[in-house]
Structure 1
Amino acid sequence: MVRTLTSLARSAPQVGMEIVFLSPEGFSSFPVPSYPGLHLAIPDSHEIARRIEAARPDAIHVATEGPIGHAVRAYCLRHRLPFTTSFTTKFPEYIAARFFVPATWSYGVLRRFHAAGRVTMASTGSLVRELRGRGFRRLGLWTRGVDTELFTPERAAPLDLPRPMFLNVGRVAVEKNLKAFLSLDLPGSKVVIGAGPQLDELKARYPDAHFLGERHGADLAAHIAAADVFVFPSRTDTYGVVQLEALACGVPVAAFPVTGPRDVIGGHAVGVLDEDLRAACLGALNVSRAECRAFALGRSWEASARQFARNVARARIRRPIGTAAGATA
């Protein structure tokens, strides 16, 4: 989600917007049990109000359902200000996988959270339909883009690993379903880039896999470009921007036919979706890398920013509290 928001901010001026972030920086926080490295902010309502009023927004968007998002939502309701929200993560499935809380209960909580907004943005058409089926209302589409200058086939890292190379990039956590990838009998090499609470467990369980730690920016792009197939085993991601980043590098995608991959890949010949993930991985080796690159070139962040602008326009603040173009929480 961080890459999505930073990319939105870079593209916003092209569509007449300025994005001001209300981030957890400056607030106290506490660690999340069973998730090393992840902290939740403890927002102060007076500081939340001060930051919003200093931004003088024309529109307010709540990007997550975390503590900051709840505090901003409460501020808007208290002051009778319209706002929009995003449904970006299938937290009910994450929570069910970690703590065995029924997903139906969690969806009820989220439905009530988003119901107060003017528009709830979802990243794909299938997610819009799924949320509508779960009782969510006032849904809007906000798709994602990719930086095709950063993510390119031309600067592949010279990795000395047996080919073909099957790569996954992302948080190393149970909800990412990495065991479905790492347990496969595949030729060549299995490579994981990322960090997370499941890293030590997976390193011990799959000593044949290569865990390269976190990578960022041009270094990440170069490592993706070095792969033969990008494997996306998650069944709970609502989109998965990293799939587009792989395609921009000319790397085909292998995934399950679920929300996210189904929307990114669809019926296009840039990857293979199959309930048999091994078959998807092997089949993706035959996909044209040039087709993958061409497909990604048509997915710009500017187009994504235009969609976002149309959605937040439906919650424009009519009794102005400022002149900047937006505050995002």
Structure 2
Amino acid sequence: MKIKDITAKKVKLELYQLVVIAIGTIDYCETVIVKIETDEGLIGYGEGTGVTFVTGESVDTIIQAIGILKKELLGLDAFSIDTIHRVMDKTLVHNASAKAAIDLALYDIMGKYAKLPLYRLLGGIAKQMETDMTIGIGTPEEMAKEAVKIVKQGFLHIKVKAGMNPDDDIEAVRQIREAVGKSIHLKVDANQGWSVGDAIRVMQRFAEYGVEAVEQPVPHWDMDGLSFIRSKSPVSIMADESCFTPQDAIKLIKKDAVDLINIKLMKCGGLYRALQINAIAEASGIRCMLGCMMESRLGIAAGAALVASRSNFIYGDLDSFLHFKENDQVKGGFTSDGPHITLSDGYGLGIEVDF
């Protein structure tokens, strides 16, 4: 089955409210939907969502990259996922979100050909997973009120954004813990915002409030700093921006820098590379979280299928779709009830796309 055509278009996703994190503010999101057609009539859909201050990509660069990759991929076997990734990596350095869009569309095709939903194609049995909900940076009082709302919706896991002011971060976590009680699981994401010294000081306090993990406390390039923090921290350390590739995962593990790795499809280039990173982590005794950028329900359906298929994912951070108003151009894939995402039994991603 040969790749006959690859097309891409922008889709605008409307947020309910601003999302503020340590390295930027997100007030709206555009994503790229990719359509791959085969010579046997099967069609697959993928998604590429770039965040300029994380992946260095925008919707325009993603579309340009897909145009470049298309020239090299037309005529290749749609099932030859290893070859296709090698061709993409040889053609373009980085551009992970563009590669992810093509990757997801190919897995969608494979699922449709096999007449299996993606979670089954990946080897899973369970079709449901649980996600956390993220609180953006605000005043400690605002963040505590938001946490209460989230718990009332049934969420047991909350991710708290931090990294702009260490003392405010401590106070926000203190107020959130006081507001939601001891049974709610808290993780904190500093988005590279602290120094090594501040990170160690803050995490000593976070331990008092039962924080389970702190994500990316220092800049992505400072793996030595991350390693030093882990040696001093009473709280588990999770890498995010420090881990884009399987090679990054190996470096982090060799440096004893992490307890957990946050894998994102848009950051690593899709399901194929995500599976590699997870395998490296699992073989090294490192558990994983599957996170997201600002994907529509298409990208979230792919991520949820991966979590449902691999026991090494102990956390799911796939809440981006909850921050958007529903978009008629992308439907299906899963249903959600509070924190629970139940995958469709439709073949492939089970997504309906108006393309």
TM-score by length of 2: 0.26
Structure (1/2) with the larger strand percentage: 2
The one of the two structures with greater contact order (alpha-carbon pairs below 8 A, sep at least 6) is 1
